[in-house]
C-alpha cells in the first residue's frame, strides 16, 4: 500500500470509528488506530493551562488568608488508606473485604472496542464510601477533627462570619441601601401626605420672656392637649393636676427627660418659658414647644412636629431603617433570571413611616412593584434636625439577586 493510500485508509477508519462503526483495519493500521483512540481522550492543552492558572490564583488567595482549610470538611489524609499502596500491588485501591463479584462493562476506548478482556468486578457505592473512612497513615486512629486543629478554628470562624453575613442580609438576596438625595438640604414647607386631618405643623409658645426657653425635652404627643407644657409654673395650686402634652400623633416619639424645655436651646441654666407668647415653650406663638406656631413641636404650625421635608446632610441626620423586610421576587423576573436594582424615592416622615414611595429607577418585570410593596412596610428612625425628628426625602436602592 503506498503512503497516500495508507493515509487515506487510516483517516477513513478514524472517521468510521467516530461514527460508531466497527474497526476493520488491517494489522498494519490497528496499532495506529489504538493510538488514535488514546488520543481522543488526551486533555486539551488549553484546559491544562487554565487549570494551572486557576490553581495559582487559589494558591495566592490561600497565601493571603493564611489557611490550609480542607474544602467540604474532607480530610484527604483519609485518602491515604486508599492511595497509599499504589505502586505496590495490583489491588491498590480495592477496599479489603468490600468487593463484590459482578459484571461491569468497561468503557471501550472507541465505540465498539473493548479495552481489555481482564477480570471484571463491581463495588457498590457504599463500599467505596466506607473504604474512605478508614484510618489514615498520618493518623493511626479515626478522629472527628481535622488533622490540623487550626483548620477547625478557621472553619468555625469562617462559617460564623458567613452566617452573620447572611443574617445581616448582605448575602441574602436583596441588599437595600439608603441613599440621600443629591440635592442640597432645604426646608420645603410641603405638607406631608398623611391626611388633611392629621396635624402636621410645629409649635411654640412662651411668655414674652427676654431669655430664651430653657433647654429640655417636649412632653409626649397626644391627640388632645389638655395642658400646655411650661417650665416656669405660675399657678402651682391648680386643683387638677394634668400631665402636659403637645398636639400630635401619639406614635410620634421625641426624646424624653424629666426636664421640659426646648431641644438644643443654648439656655442651660435659667428657667424660662421663652420669648414667645400664648403659654407654651419657645419663641413664637402657641401652646407647644419650639419655634413654630401652635400646639405642636418645632418648626411649622398647627400641631405635630417639624413640618417640612428635608434632605439629609447639612445638619440633618438621615433616617435609618429599623425594620426592612426583603421584597419577593416576581415570577416573571425569576423565570428569565432578571437581576438588578430598583431605586425608590420616598419621604420618611417624622414618625419613621415611609410615605409617597415612587420609582426613581425601574427594573421592570414586576420587580418595581415588589420593591414598593416591601418598602412600604419598612419602619425607620426618622431623620433628625436639631434634635427634632423631621421628614426627610431619601432614595432606597433595592437589589434583586438570584443565588
Partner 1 sequence: MRIVEREPEERALIEAAQNQPARFAELYEQNFDRIYAFFARRVSTRDEAQDLTAEVFHQALASIRNFRWQGAPFVSWLYGIAAHVLAKHWRSLGGDVPVDEMHLPGSRDEIEQSVLLGRLVDGLPPNQRTVLIRRFVEQKSIREIAQELGRSEGAVKQLQLRGLENLRDKLGRKP
Cell of 241: 393636676
Distance of alpha carbon 26 from alpha carbon 313, whole angstroms: 87
- Stretch 143-182: interaction string toward partner 1, x if CB under 8 A: ---xxx--x-------------------------------
Contacts of 118 (CB under 8 A, 6+ apart): none
Q: Which is nearer to partner 1, 122 or 168 (CB)?
A: 122
CB nearer partner 1, residue 79 or residue 222: 79
3-state secondary structure (DSSP) of residue 167? helix
- Grid coordinates belonging to 242: 394634668
Minimum distance of partner 1 from residue 21's CB (angstroms): 16
In terms of CB distance, is 87 or 195 closer to partner 1? 87
Looking at 2, 19, 59, 336, which residue binds partner 1 (CB under 8 A)?
A: 59
* Binding residues with partner 1: total (CB under 8 A): 82
Nearer of residues 141 and 196 to partner 1, judged by Cβ: 141
- 344: its cell numbers: 425608590
CA-to-CA dists, residue 63 to 56, 130, 159, angstroms: 10, 33, 19
110: nearest Cα among 45, 11, 16: 16
Scanning 114-122, 175-183, 200-208, 388-396 for contacts with partner 1 by CB under 8 A, the matching segment is 114-122
Min. distance of Cβ 149 from partner 1 in angstroms? 11
Give DSSP secondary structure letters for 62-103.
HHHHT--PPGGG--GGGGHHHHTTBTTBTTTTPPTT--EE--
Ranges within 365-394 binding partner 1 (CB under 8 A)? none
- Residues in 339-368 at the binding interface with partner 1, rule: CB under 8 A: none
Residues 68-87 that bind partner 1 (CB under 8 A): 68-71, 74-77, 79-87
Cα–Cα distances in angstroms (integers) from residue 66 to residues 59, 150, 240, 293, in the given order:
10, 10, 73, 64
* Element spanning 355, H or E: strand 354-361
* Residue found under cell 438644643: 264
CB of 391 to partner 1, least distance (A): 53
Nearer to partner 1, 60 or 223 (CB): 60
Site for partner 1 in 265-294 (CB under 8 A): none
Instruction: Please provide the distance, in angstroms rounded to a whole number, between the alpha carbons at the two ends of the chain.
Output: 62
What is the number of other CB atoms lying within 10 angstroms of the CB of residue 355?
16
Q: How far is the CB of 136 from partner 1 (least distance, A)?
A: 8
Binders of partner 1 among residues 315 to 334 (CB under 8 A) are: none
In the window 19-58, what residues touch partner 1 (CB under 8 A)?
27-28, 31-32, 34-36, 38-45, 47-48, 51-52, 54-56, 58
In the region spanning residues 201 to 240, those forming contacts with partner 1, defined by CB under 8 A, are none
Task: Give the Cα separation of 391 and 255 in Å (integer).
Answer: 16
Q: Interface residues for partner 1 in 93-112 (CB under 8 A)? A: 93-94, 99, 102, 104, 106-107
| Contact of 244 with 273, CB cutoff 8 Å | no
Q: Quick one: which segment of 129-137, 179-187, 236-244, 362-370 binds partner 1 (CB under 8 A)?
A: 129-137
Amino acid at each position: 500500500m503506498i503512503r497516500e493510500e495508507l493515509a487515506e485508509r487510516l483517516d477513513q477508519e478514524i472517521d468510521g470509528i467516530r461514527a460508531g462503526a466497527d474497526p476493520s483495519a488491517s494489522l498494519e493500521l490497528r496499532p495506529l488506530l489504538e493510538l488514535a483512540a488514546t488520543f481522543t481522550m488526551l486533555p486539551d492543552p488549553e484546559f491544562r493551562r487554565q487549570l494551572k492558572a486557576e490553581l495559582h490564583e487559589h494558591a495566592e488567595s490561600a497565601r493571603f488568608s493564611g489557611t490550609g482549610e480542607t474544602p467540604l470538611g474532607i480530610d484527604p489524609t483519609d485518602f491515604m488508606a486508599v492511595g497509599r499502596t499504589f505502586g505496590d500491588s495490583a489491588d491498590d485501591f480495592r477496599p479489603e473485604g468490600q468487593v463484590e463479584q459482578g459484571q461491569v462493562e468497561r468503557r471501550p476506548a472507541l465505540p465498539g472496542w473493548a479495552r481489555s478482556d481482564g477480570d471484571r468486578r463491581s463495588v457498590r457505592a457504599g463500599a467505596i464510601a466506607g473504604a474512605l473512612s478508614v484510618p489514615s497513615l498520618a493518623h493511626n486512629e479515626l478522629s472527628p477533627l481535622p488533622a490540623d486543629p487550626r483548620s477547625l478554628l478557621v472553619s468555625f470562624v469562617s462559617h460564623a462570619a458567613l452566617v452573620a453575613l447572611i443574617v445581616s442580609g448582605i448575602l441574602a438576596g436583596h441588599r437595600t441601601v439608603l441613599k440621600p438625595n443629591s440635592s442640597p438640604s432645604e426646608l420645603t414647607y410641603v405638607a406631608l401626605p398623611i391626611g388633611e386631618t392629621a396635624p402636621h405643623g410645629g409649635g411654640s409658645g412662651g411668655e414674652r420672656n427676654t431669655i430664651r426657653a430653657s433647654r429640655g425635652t417636649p412632653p409626649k404627643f397626644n391627640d388632645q392637649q389638655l395642658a400646655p407644657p411650661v417650665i416656669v409654673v405660675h399657678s402651682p395650686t391648680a386643683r387638677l393636676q394634668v400631665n402636659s402634652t403637645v398636639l400630635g400623633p401619639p406614635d410620634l416619639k421625641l426624646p424624653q427627660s424629666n426636664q421640659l424645655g426646648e431641644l438644643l436651646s443654648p439656655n442651660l441654666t435659667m428657667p424660662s418659658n421663652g420669648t414667645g407668647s400664648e403659654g407654651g415653650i419657645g419663641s413664637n406663638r402657641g401652646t407647644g414647644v419650639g419655634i413654630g406656631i401652635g400646639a405642636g413641636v418645632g418648626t411649622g404650625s398647627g400641631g405635630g412636629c417639624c413640618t417640612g421635608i428635608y434632605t439629609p446632610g447639612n445638619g440633618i441626620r438621615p433616617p435609618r431603617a429599623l425594620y426592612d423586610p426583603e421584597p419577593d421576587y416576581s415570577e416573571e423576573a425569576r423565570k428569565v433570571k432578571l437581576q438588578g436594582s430598583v431605586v425608590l424615592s420616598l419621604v420618611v416622615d417624622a414618625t419613621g413611616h415611609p410615605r409617597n414611595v415612587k420609582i426613581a429607577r425601574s427594573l421592570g418585570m414586576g420587580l418595581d412593584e415588589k420593591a414598593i410593596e416591601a418598602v412600604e412596610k419598612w419602619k425607620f428612625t426618622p431623620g433628625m434636625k436639631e434634635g427634632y425628628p423631621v421628614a426627610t426625602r431619601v432614595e432606597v436602592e433595592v437589589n434583586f439577586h438570584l443565588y
